[in-house]
Amino acid sequence: MKVILARENGFCFGVKKAVELTEAAAEQGGAVYNLGQVVHNPIISERLKSKGVEVIGAPGEAPEGTVVIRAHGVPPAVRAEIEERGLTCIDATCSLVIRAQRFTKQLADEGYKVIILGTPTHPEVVGLKGFAGDDFVVVETKEEWDKLPKMKRAGVVSQSTQPPWAFRDLVSHLTDISQELKVFNTVCPVTVKRQHAASELAEVVDTVIVVGGKNSANTRELVNLVRMNGGTAYHVENEAEIDASWVAALEAVGLIGGTSTPMETLLAVKERIESIAAAAAA
Catalytic residue list: 124
2: three-class secondary structure by DSSP: strand
Q: Which residues are registered as beta bridge partners of 32?
A: 53, 66
| Dist CA 212 CA 124 (whole Å) | 18
CB 23 within 8 A of CB 270: no
Q: Which of 261, 250, 159, 251 is nearest to 210 (CA)?
A: 261
Q: Is 173 exposed, middle or buried (0-12, 13-18, 19+ CB in 10 A)?
A: middle
188: three-class secondary structure by DSSP: coil
CB 210 within 8 A of CB 222: yes
Amino acid identity at 214: K
| Dist CA 149 CA 245 (whole Å) | 49
Please report, for residues 43, 44, 66, 86, 257, the alpha-carbon distance to residue 32 in angstroms, rounded to integers and kept in the order given: 18, 15, 5, 14, 28
